[in-house]
Amino acid sequence: MRPVFIVLPILVIIASCNSSDTTKATENSQAEEKLIDTTLSQTDRHVLIEELKRIQQILASNNKEKISNIFEFPLSDSAYSIYVDDTAYHKQRESNGDKITEAMFLQFFNKISAGILISQLNNLFRYIKVDSLLHKDNLEYEAYIKSTPCYYSYKIKLDKSIVTLRMDMKSNTSYKSKKTAPEDDIPENSSEICEHDFWWIFRFDGKKLHLTNISGAD
Instruction: State residue 81's pLDDT score.
Output: 87
Mean pLDDT for all residues in the chain: 85
DSSP state of 133: G
H-state helical runs in 62-78? 64-68
pLDDT over 80 (residue 218): yes
d(CA 194, CA 167): 12
**Cβ–Cβ < 8 Å for 138, 157:** yes
User: Beta partners for 209?
Assistant: 204
**Cβ–Cβ < 8 Å for 54, 211:** no
Instruction: State residue 185's pLDDT score.
Output: 77
Q: Out of 21-30, 50-59, 117-126, which region has the weakest mean confidence (pLDDT)? A: 21-30
Q: What is the pLDDT of residues 66-98, one digit of tens each?
A: 999 999 999 998 899 888 999 999 999 999 999
Report the pLDDT averaged over residues 119-144: 96
Q: Are strands 196-204 and 75-76 parallel, antiparallel or unpaired?
A: unpaired
Instruction: State residue 16's pLDDT score.
Output: 52
Q: What is the pLDDT of residues 137-182, one digit of tens each?
A: 999 999 999 999 999 999 999 999 999 999 999 999 999 876 655 5
d(CA 104, CA 197): 25
Report the pLDDT averaged over residues 204-217: 96
Q: Which residue has the higher pLDDT, 186 or 180?
A: 186
DSSP state of 106: H
Report the pLDDT averaged over residues 96-117: 96
Q: List the one residue out of 154, 155, 148, 199 whose CA is nearest residue 171.
A: 148
**The model's pTM:** 0.78
